[in-house]
Amino acid sequence: MVSRVEQSEETRGKIVAAAVAAFSTLGFHGASTREIAARAGINQGLITYHFRSKELLWRAAVEKIFASLRTALVPLPTSPASDPREQARESIRRYVRFAAAHPELFRLMVEEGKSGDRRMQWLVDTYLRPFYEGFKEQLAESLSEPEQSLEPHAFYALAGAVSLMFAVEPECRRLTGLNPKRKQVVEQHADYVARLFVP
Amino acid sequence: MVSRVEQSEETRGKIVAAAVAAFSTLGFHGASTREIAARAGINQGLITYHFRSKELLWRAAVEKIFASLRTALVPLPTSPASDPREQARESIRRYVRFAAAHPELFRLMVEEGKSGDRRMQWLVDTYLRPFYEGFKEQLAESLSEPEQSLEPHAFYALAGAVSLMFAVEPECRRLTGLNPKRKQVVEQHADYVARLFVP
DNA sequence: ACTTTCACTTGTCAACCGAATAAAATTCCC
DNA sequence: GGGAATTTTATTCGGTTGACAAGTGAAAGT
């Protein structure tokens, strides 16, 4: 962190991290650049300097979220011996672990998916569709069920079942007394959802 | 609609209806009283007049959403001949139909559930917990599975699987080409989720 | 008929926050 | 030490916020 470029990249990183949290919980309009700067512990002017505009910062935040999603779900070295259904279950478990560690993705997708504006369209076309196509392929391989037209239903049912508990973590805590961040709770949810979709 | 009270109640109704839509899509802070008044086609001053404050209007909006949920899920006259598992499936189908007709509930719950503030606590204690307790009872009756500790997982998995597709309707449209509001699509989702949770 | 009540309208206020920019200060690199 | 990249400080101009006070008109009560 001595060099200037490293310092600069660290600053950008702090801003994007704060932006991810702020945009996902407060929405695009609700999250002000001042708020983001405060959370990042940096100066508000730096946001314009590094990202030119709030919208471009938002895109950088979305990029970061999907980058960590790709990292988390990168295909494992397929052990040919194991049951394809068990592989599918493990994929779902990994998705649950990601949703628990990064509730921001679901929050942001719901926040943006409610409206049909330009940002949502960009988000779908740029990041969500590739992910969805990958999901369809994996579903076809692992389960090989003939209900092809059910793909949208399976996709949204899975995403919702996997993520909701972690997206509304404070609510879940108060309602059930369960802390969704505890590793044991995450694993229980992972196993529950995995067996639900791949009995 | 000649009498003064009828007129007044109609106005209150229009305001609350607009508030439900606005709060669920824009959040509490994002929805301004002016915006709500515009959507309701009434004067902004009337909001203060009828509800005293924005917060009390928000509570009225929440009350209205949960009232329609209770109406939609009121227990059917139990036909003793039918399979309890099929009854459970039908309950889930009715929940799906409600989520399709009223995506506002899920949107608002996610919007508020993300934070742990006073509004969320009031919402959980006043409306969500009674609903959750009812859900647990019905689950115990219909399925009588020994996995009691899985209730929170089942609850959130079900709620997410049921509702997400309709909560992000514009996104779903663009991503999949499917219109979640079409009756056929709703029924397909209802059947998919019902069979998923009660095979 | 006449007064009171009440839903409603209009106008306003005082505060606050919005993103973006410009200029000044600091730091690193050569 | 000169110059460039990064960061800070200060400001601009604008718009929006929830709430309220005073005024209007029509229905309700008597």
SS3 per-residue string spanning chain A: CCCHHHHHHHHHHHHHHHHHHHHHHHHHHHCCHHHHHHHHCCCHHHHHHHHCCHHHHHHHHHHHHHHHHHHHHCCCCCCCCCCHHHHHHHHHHHHHHHHHHCCHHHHHHHHHHCCCCHHHHHHHHHHHHHHHHHHHHHHHHHHCCCCHHHHHHHHHHHHHHHHHHHHCHHHHHHHHCCCCCCHHHHHHHHHHHHHHHCC
- Same domain, residue pair A98 and A173: yes
Main-chain phi, psi angles of A56, to 5 degrees: -70, -35
Q: Is residue A66 part of a domain?
A: no
Q: What is the tally of structural domains in chain A?
A: 2
- Same domain, residue pair B95 and B33: no
Q: Would you say residue A146 has pLDDT above 60?
A: no
Q: Would you say residue A144 has pLDDT above 70?
A: no
Please state whether strand C lies within 7 Å of residue B13 at its CB atom.
Answer: no
Q: Is residue A178 part of a domain?
A: yes
pLDDT of residue A82: 75
Q: Is B44 exposed, middle or buried (0-12, 13-18, 19+ CB in 10 A)?
A: middle
Q: Is residue A10 part of a domain?
A: yes
- Same domain, residue pair B16 and B57: yes
Q: Is residue B67 part of a domain?
A: no
- Same domain, residue pair B57 and B89: no
Q: Which A residues between 24 and 63 have a beta carbon under 7 A from any strand D atom?
A: 42-46, 49-50
Torsion of CA A151, A156, A162, A166, to 10 degrees: 160
- Same domain, residue pair A197 and A111: yes
Q: Are B79 and B142 spatial neighbours (Cβ–Cβ below 8 Å)?
A: no
- Same domain, residue pair A187 and A117: yes
A196–B192: do the CB atoms touch at under 8 Å?
no
pLDDT digits (tens, 9 = 90+) for B26-82: 999 999 999 999 999 999 999 999 999 999 999 999 999 999 999 999 877 776 667
- CB proximity B179 to A under 8 Å: no
- Same domain, residue pair B142 and B80: yes
Closest CA to A127 of A73, A62, A71: A62
Q: Are B70 and B52 spatial neighbours (Cβ–Cβ below 8 Å)?
A: no
Q: Is residue B68 part of a domain?
A: no
Q: Is residue B35 part of a domain?
A: yes
Q: Residue B49 belongs to a domain with what CATH number?
A: 1.10.10.60
Q: Is residue B6 part of a domain?
A: yes
- Same domain, residue pair A83 and A173: yes
pLDDT of residue A149: 65
Residue A97, domain extent:
75-199
Q: Is residue B66 part of a domain?
A: no
pLDDT digits (tens, 9 = 90+) for A94-140: 999 999 999 999 999 999 999 999 999 999 999 999 999 988 887 77
Q: Residue B88 belongs to a domain with what CATH number?
A: 1.10.357
pLDDT of residue A77: 72
pLDDT digits (tens, 9 = 90+) for A49-89: 999 999 999 999 999 999 999 999 987 776 666 788 898 89
Q: Which amino acid is at B23?
A: F
Q: Would you say residue B5 has pLDDT above 90?
A: no
- Same domain, residue pair A12 and A95: no
- Same domain, residue pair A80 and A9: no
A114–B167: do the CB atoms touch at under 8 Å?
yes
pLDDT of residue B130: 96
**Interface contacts A/B by beta carbons within 8 Å:** 174
Give the up-direction half-sphere exposure of residue B131: CA atoms within 13 A in the CB hemisphere: 24
- Same domain, residue pair B123 and B182: yes
Tokens of A63: 């990029």
CA A77, C1' C7: Å apart?
Answer: 71
Q: Across residues B175-199, what is the average pLDDT?
A: 96
pLDDT of residue B120: 97
- Same domain, residue pair B6 and B93: no
